[in-house]
Structure 1
């Protein structure tokens, strides 16, 4: 059966092209998941609206506090972070602020910015094994053994800069509080702590959770999908990217590269040589 001709389509058929349950728009009307925007403004916080748009309902106060804590924790990690550095470099090249921010955000991929999603997916797989009757500690040890055999890092654990990520403890404390109050599922926290313990075995230094692991525990406890863990991290880190891009755009430097002009990248190619004589 061929597709209908656009000239013969009804308004309902055309409107169904971008059908959405998120927002209803009409002249003089904006509803967010059914709530008139004029009622939302001033009554709901930004984090509550994030939850509303992503989940379709309003969060409980404890859920909103946990989500806000995770978003706050990931806002920035200084200009040495590639996404921040790229945004600052872009800001010195005469592009608009939106382009500078987009430059930084576009660096948040599987390696830089994706560990939270990967960790949450791992916690979900561990949860499935726990539900099937396996012991949490046994599951964690087998996961660590599998990653070590592949020579891979367990996503969400260890940090190249911090011996112990200062964002870990307050986030996990909030999850623990939520578990005690019966507000969130205890499984993700138990699995993550078991992984941390398994990683520390036969090592002189522990491998504690980093920001990606801690926020993955928060998002998993709140029932967010792994893909949204990355989306929420992008939303959070965009604040820091914006702040750094704005600060750099206020300076007088132009076309700042990754190294100061006085420092040249190490050259590893052939020594200077003449072209061979041609016939």
Structure 2
């Protein structure tokens, strides 16, 4: 999007992982970004570091707010603040957040405890219900946006290759990520026909994001820290994925006014090792 007009972008899960990388990428490009996250430690840290990501040549507005995406009233309050912050306009909504931790996570589905169902409820709420509600509430803002010539705003949902290729004991995660694909298709038809709002999904493969967090910043960890040559060799592309790979896919979907209802897979090839992502 070199030379494009500044955009107003909302990113969920923007304090760490892929979301933080997208936050930095778009601030550095001169766009205005509003991020939501439920992790208070990471959120406070990203507030301290984000100022260094802005450019003096292009004035931008940014805000990082605490929001529990399991709480529908929290989501409604957040959207009202986005509306005030961006003067009623939004160009891009990126539904990136996903609960990747919690009691019950990774337990076999035969487990008869309440914790495993609590984990299910959390992942479905954050990974599927919240994107649906955010999409609904942001329609008036997106209608007023202009992410591409002659086009209103656009929605990008972050799914996962795990929607199609899971591993043992991650039913809730895979179900939410597969559900977001169905939601993307449905929303693209409904919002496209009525408002010309485009809706697409990105399916990341193994995107290494262990450096996208406060702890890594404190130790000045490089992106490749924790990776091995074997990790790279598992991928026909010859390496593990980076946040920049996702940013390029996001830019493509923002700028491609004829693309909607599509699934863009960002993966270095089918490997033998699955890594639990941290959006």
Structure 1 length as normaliser, TM-score? 0.26
- Higher relative contact order, structure no. (Cα contacts within 8 Å, ≥ 6 residues apart): 1
Greater strand proportion: 2
- Structure showing greater radius of gyration is 1
Structure 2 length as normaliser, TM-score? 0.26
Greater helix proportion: 1
